Copies of this chain bind each other. A is one copy, B any other.
Amino acid sequence: MQRVPILKLGDVLIVSIQIDLEDQSVLALQEDLADAVVQHGAKGVIIDITAVEIVDSFIGRMLATIASMCGMLDAQTVVVGMRPAVAITLVELGLSLGGVRTALNLEKGVALLDHIRSATP
């Protein structure tokens, strides 16, 4: 099983998903992320899906679960780098990402996290 590496930059964790995620990898990623959020006291998690060509309900649910989980640990999640085709497919299939915040790219994701944090006391 391949593990998705988690990068840390300040109090933001960055995860770039490039491999095809199976059940095991998803569970491992969720655990690793929760551990990393606690260990580093991260305030934000950015998940980059630039390399993901197909977002089905499985991936959508995973993203929503990660966001809820990190939310419990007081970290905001932003999904960045969604391909236009993925956005189209999601809407056509009637899938949602469970209210997960999105941003165009990593830079805008970091800016969004800064904005969210400055808005909450």
Give chain A's interface residues, CB within 8 Å of chain B. Answer: 2-5, 7-10, 14, 16, 18-19, 48, 50-51, 81, 105-107, 110
Contacts and interface: CB of A to CB of B under 8 A. Distances in A.
A106 B14 contact: yes
Given A18-B18, A18-B19, A19-B18, A7 B48 contact: yes
Main secondary structure of the interface of A (DSSP, over half): loop
Nearest to A18: B18
A6 to B, nearest CB: 8
Contacts of A4: 18, 51
A51 B106 contact: no
B110 A5 contact: no
